[in-house]
Amino acid sequence: MIWVVDTNGQKKKGQGVIKGLKASKKRYANGSEKLNIAFSEHLGGVVGINYRSFLDDVVVIMKRKLPLIGVRRWSDIHPTIHRQIVADMIDRWASKDTPEIEEKILKISNERYRGWRATLSSTYKAYKTDAARLANVPKDLQREEWEWLIEFSGTDAKFKVISNLTIYERACLNGYIFVSMNG
């Protein structure tokens, strides 16, 4: 969280966490552009002192490279964009360029992409009308992207079915019981 002190000496809440800044500072202090990173042999995830910075870098690169308009799920994204994400991460981090590392980077990217889309979905659901949604464009999106997501979330029948199913499943996990009134 960023805090800005205004002229009255009061703290004001800023725009949020700046992704990638910590990694940039570490690179500068290290004297090289690449930071060391390791992947767990058993779990497949990132390990080591730079793991958080690596994940932040994945998010920054992913948001910069991936389109939102016309994309319904991770598998809809063209493989060349996947390769660009992997190439950018290997250029920035001291890591081998092997198929196993590529697979691990793409798995992390997929997880972060789904998390980003879930956050955008929550933002969509936070407002009752499309006018209110359009008045509150998320900071990391272009207006056109947000308009497309509003249209997609509001009209796509398959999206609505999956969304309602997810709500039902979460309610069941939390102990709520749904009873059908249709006999």
Residue 181 lies in a domain: no
Task: Express each pLDDT in 48-72 by its tens digit.
Answer: 888 888 998 899 999 889 888 888 8
Total domain count, the chain: 1
Q: How far apart are CA 106 and CA 101, in angstroms?
A: 9
Task: Express each pLDDT in 86-127 by its tens digit.
Answer: 999 998 888 888 899 999 999 999 999 999 988 998 899 899
| pTM (2 d.p.) | 0.69
Give 3-state DSSP helix, strand, coil % of the chain, rounded to 5: 55, 10, 35
Which has the higher per-residue pLDDT, 104 or 37?
104
> Strand locations in 73-135, DSSP E?
93-94
Q: How far apart are CA 181 and CA 183, in angstroms?
A: 6
Residue 133 lies in a domain: yes
For residue 11, the surrounding DSSP H or E stretch is strand 11-13
Return the pLDDT at 3: 44
Residue 179 lies in a domain: no
User: For residue 167, what are the domain limits?
Assistant: 3-173
Residue 180 lies in a domain: no
Residue 131 lies in a domain: yes
Return the pLDDT at 103: 92
Residue 30 lies in a domain: yes
Residue 182 lies in a domain: no
